[in-house]
Amino acid sequence: MSLLVQKFGGTSVADSNKILAAARRAIQAHHRGEQVLVVVSARGHTTDELIALAREITDRPPAREMDMLLATGEQVSVALMAMAIESLGVPAISFTGAQIGLVTDSFHTKARIKNISNDRMTQALAEGKIVIVAGFQGMDENYNITTLGRGGSDTTAVALAAVLGASACEIYTDVDGVYTTDPRIVPEAGKIDRISYDEMLELASLGAGVMHSRSIEFAKKYGVPIHVRSSFSDAPGTWIVGEQDARRLGVAVTGAALAKDEARITILGVPDRPGVVHLLFQTIARANIVVDMIVQNVATDGATEVSFTVARGDLAETLRAAAAAANEIGALGVTHDAAVAKVSVIGLGMRTHTGVATAMFEAIAAAGINIQMITTSEIKITVLVDRAAAVGALRAVHKAFLLDEVHARPQLTFFPAGSTTGAMKLVPLADPDANGPREQGMEDLVIAGVELDETQGRITLYDVPDRPGYAARVFQAIADAGVFVDMIVQNVSQDGQCVLSFTAPRDAVNRAVEAITPIAGGQISIEPAMAKLSVIGVGMRTHTGVATRMFGALADRSININLINTSEIRINVGTDVAKGKEGLDCLRKVFALNHES
Ligand code: ADP
Ligand code: ASP
Ligand code: MG
């Protein structure tokens, strides 16, 4: 008998009628002969209201008590849902996170799942009951109630689908699928039929609030197909699946995302020697802050600038940690900007960035918006812009990639009608070898491999004017010269000038330089050969320690890092070409990868 997990978000259980409607959906699946496990969120805006209530009492509520409070929202929902299902004639039983032994670590308000014991759920399912589980919550080893972070019910649902070997996890919400961008911001956004785990991971971590990004980490690790769909209609939604099932031919960009509440921090005059970046990010990681968009350019005069972004809410704490770190490493100072936003495009089809980067930068320039920082990964390009201009930039980019015409773009048929599983292979949790080294906790970081690429060279432009249109012109010229660009990094300006670096195949470096010389304006430096070292996995950004471990391992071997870009699925650094093999070796050791990767 196959098992289906259905998760209902806040709006889908907001009142008694909606709870009854959700109950009917679960019952329908039950009558089709499936075992059904339902995960529910707190009703409507309950979680927001509970947070507001706590703030009326104190500005700094203890995190443990916050969890105690917030978990009540989901407890109300499970009880009501079980009553609804029983009232419609099907036996049901509700459980809190603690009651199903969902054990987490002790980081209150952002706990990670370590373990789930499925005995109680399996038994109730075998008795023919619909099982209802409270999303978003668990307990630590000392029986303290914990929560997984805002939006965490998605993660509960996918984790349960993984441990119970469900055929799929259905996410019922107030939109009928994953859109090319948030339809509340860009009404022309189109629904995506299928999207790969990696694309969804990037989209979610770059601001698409429709799925909790950690739920996608689970889905990818354990091969759980996710179906995001509307609570209020029967229309098919979006399947989030493995890459082989999600690839769309001829489409470079799948979606765009906006993260509005960001803050940028820059450490000025960072001494250009091994170990310094490591020290910096170690200090910040210790404060458990998720750092994003780390951008480091090539040094001038023995010093470099390192910029990164954090959620605006983490700014004060980050500045404290950054100031301490800057002092320790002998940097010149720290600046910040609390009024910035990130705009990103994501797509598996973006193997090289040349065409996509050109089109993205052009669209933003045409809207008269200045790009403050740029960073790329294999399947995304992110730019940092002024918050006030962010929605305009998102719209411009969305339009430039014809994302509003998603239905007219090539589509492949996916799951055969009536099947919810397709050819997906589930990786059983019990198989210790399936996911590399034995995991301590279900949500632990999984590193899939480390890589060395010695085929590229690097070009750096100095004195880049800090105004709209420059990046667009540079990458247009490079595209015209037929050069494929891989990493692009642009740091925030100091005194109206920035530094822009990019990498290209070694044999194309000279051609690229010739193409940009007439428009560059300032000095150009060339590194004809470099080594690009990458650590690849899932959840690289949310596990704050990965970058730190990578930088630390390289520092221990005195390998200097001269270019960084990060994403949810990989961290890339550029180093001296002569140090590439040694770097690869030490990264294999530190991430316990014994095999050739
Ligand atoms: P739930 O309470 O069901 O978990 P959420 O509010 O967490 O619902 O997520 C659904 C919302 O996510 C949508 O209403 C939409 O505004 C927002 N959203 C952001 N980005 C996207 C996207 N790319 N596609 C669909 N919805 C998105
Ligand atoms: N109720 C929690 C929140 O609002 C969890 C969730 O809805 O996923 O964040
Ligand atoms: Mg949600």
pTM for this structure? 0.88
CA of 211 to the centre of ligand 1 (A): 7
Is 153's C-beta closer than 6 angstroms to any atom of ligand 2?
yes
Distance CA 232, CA 12 (A): 8
How far lies 120's CA from each of 98, 132, 144, 568, in Å? Answer: 11, 12, 20, 34
Residues 160, 7 contacting (CB under 8 angstroms): no
pLDDT at 399: 92
pLDDT at 406: 59
Distance CA 402, CA 365 (A): 17
Using CA positions, which residue lies closest to atom 9 of ligand 2?
150
Q: Is the pLDDT of residue 351 over 80?
A: no
Judged by DSSP in three states, 545 sits in helix
Distance CA 105, CA 64 (A): 12
pLDDT at 420: 31
Mean pLDDT, the chain, whole residue set: 88
Distance CA 566, CA 449 (A): 15
Distance CA 299, CA 331 (A): 13
- Which conformational region is residue 207 in: left (phi greater than 0), alpha (psi within -120 to 50 degrees), or beta? left
Which DSSP string corresponds to 546-564?
A: HHHHHHHHHHHTTPPEEEE
Distance CA 247, CA 195 (A): 8
Tokens 């600038």 belong to residue: 305
Is 135's C-beta closer than 6 angstroms to any atom of ligand 2?
yes
- Which ligand is nearest to the Cα of residue 9, counting in written order? 1
- Which ligand is nearest to the Cα of residue 11, counting in written order? 1
The beta strand positions in 201-243, using DSSP E, are 226-230, 238-241
Q: Which residues contact 456 (CB under 8 A, 6 or more apart)?
A: 486, 503, 504, 505, 506, 529, 530, 532
Q: Which residues contact 39 (CB under 8 A, 6 or more apart)?
A: 5, 6, 7, 8, 132, 133, 134, 135, 153, 156, 157, 160
* DSSP single-letter state for residue 492: P
CA of 7 to the centre of ligand 1 (A): 14
CA of 549 to the centre of ligand 3 (A): 31
Q: Is the pLDDT of residue 22 over 70?
A: yes
Distance CA 246, CA 240 (A): 8
Average pLDDT over residues 208-213: 94
Q: Which residues of 281-292 are buried (b: 16+ CB within 10 A; e: fewer)?
A: bbbbbeeebbbb
CA-9 nearest atom, ligand 2: 7
Q: Is the pLDDT of residue 256 over 60?
A: yes
Residues 472, 362 contacting (CB under 8 angstroms): yes
Q: Which residues of 458-490 are buried (b: 16+ CB within 10 A; e: fewer)?
A: bbbbbebebebbbbbbbbbbbbebebbbbbbbb
Task: Give the CA radius of gyration of the chain.
Answer: 24
CA-152 nearest atom, ligand 2: 8
pLDDT confidence tier of residue 410, bands split at 50, 70 and 90:
very low
CA of 153 to the centre of ligand 2 (A): 6
491 compared with 585, residue with greater pLDDT: 585
Distance CA 347, CA 253 (A): 4
**For 15-19, 83-87, 124-128, 321-325, which range has the lowest pLDDT when averaged over its residues?**
321-325
Is 10's C-beta closer than 6 angstroms to any atom of ligand 2?
yes
Is 47's C-beta closer than 6 angstroms to any atom of ligand 2?
yes
End-to-end CA distance of the chain: 38
pLDDT at 402: 80
Distance CA 81, CA 25 (A): 12
pLDDT at 411: 38
Q: Is the pLDDT of residue 144 over 60?
A: yes
Average pLDDT over residues 559-571: 86
413 compared with 158, residue with greater pLDDT: 158
pLDDT at 437: 35
CA-179 nearest atom, ligand 1: 24
Judged by DSSP in three states, 22 sits in helix
173 compared with 412, residue with greater pLDDT: 173
* DSSP single-letter state for residue 475: H
Helix axes 153-164, 119-126, angle to 10 degrees: 70
CA of 5 to the centre of ligand 1 (A): 19
Q: Is the pLDDT of residue 445 over 80?
A: no
How far lies 365's CA from each of 117, 361, 362, 487, in Å? Answer: 53, 6, 5, 20
Q: What percent of the chain has pLDDT over 70?
A: 91
**For 43-57, 60-74, 293-307, 463-477, which range has the lowest pLDDT when averaged over its residues?**
293-307
Residues 532, 573 contacting (CB under 8 angstroms): yes
* Structure tokens that stand for 596 in this block: 């050739």
pLDDT in tens, 222-240: 999 999 999 999 999 999 9
Q: Is the pLDDT of residue 251 over 70?
A: yes
**For 205-219, 438-452, 474-488, which range has the lowest pLDDT when averaged over its residues?**
438-452
Average pLDDT over residues 128-146: 98
Using CA positions, which residue lies closest to atom 11 of ligand 1?
210
Average pLDDT over residues 534-557: 84
CA of 73 to the centre of ligand 2 (A): 9
Strands 530-538 and 194-196: unpaired
* DSSP single-letter state for residue 100: G
Mutation test of ligand 2: which of 7, 40, 46, 47 has the most ligand atoms closer than 8 Å to its C-beta? 47
pLDDT confidence tier of residue 440, bands split at 50, 70 and 90:
low
CA of 488 to the centre of ligand 3 (A): 32
Distance CA 104, CA 547 (A): 23
Q: Is the pLDDT of residue 142 over 60?
A: yes
CA of 404 to the centre of ligand 2 (A): 29
User: In the structure, which protein residues have their CB atom closer than 6 angstroms to any atom of ligand 1?
Assistant: 9-12, 41, 151, 173-175, 178-179, 181-184, 208-210, 255
Distance CA 534, CA 571 (A): 5
pLDDT confidence tier of residue 426, bands split at 50, 70 and 90:
very low
pLDDT confidence tier of residue 462, bands split at 50, 70 and 90:
confident
Residues 267, 306 contacting (CB under 8 angstroms): yes
Average pLDDT over residues 367-383: 91
pLDDT at 442: 81
Length of the chain: 597
Residues 342, 375 contacting (CB under 8 angstroms): no
pLDDT at 594: 59
Average pLDDT over residues 430-446: 53
CA of 99 to the centre of ligand 2 (A): 19
Q: Which of 41-45, 280-284, 543-547 has the highest mean pLDDT?
A: 41-45
Distance CA 319, CA 312 (A): 11
How far lies 35's CA from each of 134, 166, 420, 421, 505, in Å? Answer: 18, 9, 14, 15, 53
Distance CA 251, CA 453 (A): 26
* DSSP single-letter state for residue 11: G
Alpha-carbon dihedral angle through residues 98, 101, 104, 107, given to the nearest 10 degrees: 20
Is 151's C-beta closer than 6 angstroms to any atom of ligand 2?
yes
Average pLDDT over residues 301-320: 89
Name which of 349, 477, 366 is nearest 403 in CA terms: 349
Mutation test of ligand 2: which of 7, 153, 155, 158 has the most ligand atoms closer than 8 Å to its C-beta? 153
pLDDT confidence tier of residue 444, bands split at 50, 70 and 90:
confident
544 compared with 29, residue with greater pLDDT: 29
CA of 523 to the centre of ligand 3 (A): 48
pLDDT at 155: 97
* Structure tokens that stand for 96 in this block: 């809190």
Using CA positions, which residue lies closest to atom 4 of ligand 2?
47
Q: Which residues contact 285 (CB under 8 A, 6 or more apart)?
A: 291, 544, 545, 547, 548
pLDDT at 258: 97
The beta strand positions in 117-158, using DSSP E, are 130-134, 137-139, 145-147
Distance CA 531, CA 514 (A): 23
